[in-house]
Amino acid sequence: HTASEPVVRGVIGQPVQLPCVYPVARHKDISDMCWGRGPCPNSKCNNKILHTTGNRVTFRKSQRYNLRGYISYGDVSLTIAKVKADDEGTYCCRVEIPGWFNDIKQNMRLEVVRAPPVMTTTTRKAPVSPKRFRKTTSAPQATSDHQTTAATAVLLTTTTIAPPTFAVTENDTLPENMVTTSAPPDFSTDFQAADMRTEEDDVFCPTE
């Protein structure tokens, strides 16, 4: 059995597991094993940190070292709680198989890294401004040509109606009373005065 050295990465302050498994088909296949610091030697483990006898842990250097798997099924993976920077280095998993040179040994390297900084995200709400209501005022519309025309028409209707006059030539022989006619037969002077007074209240009229 040749030794290999896979790399396992652990984070400071967190647990890490170093895998190690061997085949167990029957109960008598369960073997003693050990974990040690440094490469696996020719026998046993250097700087032993954990040892099992049968399916029980009979030695551990620190309470941080535990076997979380099923030893009866050949799972002797080492769990290190709260990894420290000093834990970095090479580890040896050695399963003691009876006979010469039958031991199963595996080297692995633990690399310890620091935990990434925790980024705290602060959510800020944008200030809410009070709603502004735009007050719309309609400007007075300019006087249209139609309205101007109507006003002009009103002013024109208030023009004083002059009484008809009759021109008399030398050849005409008309009675004297017809020449001196000053008003139409049905046009009353009182009515004209009342009409002018009424129009003055509403519309400006120039005086003659």
The domain ranges of the chain are 7-106
Amino acid 115: pLDDT: 83
The predicted-structure confidence for 33-87, as pLDDT tens digits, reads as follows 999 999 999 989 999 999 999 999 999 999 999 999 999 999 999 999 999 999 9
The stretch 21-39 carries a mean pLDDT of 94
Amino acid 87: pLDDT: 97
Angle, vertex CA 36, rays to CA 30 and CA 37, nearest 5: 155
User: What pTM does this model have?
Assistant: 0.55
Do the Cβ atoms of 112 and 87 come closer than 8 Å? yes
User: Going by CATH, does the domain composed of 7-106 fall within 2.70.170.10?
Assistant: no
For residue 151, pLDDT over 80 is answered with no
* Strand 33-37 relative to strand 89-95, pairing: antiparallel
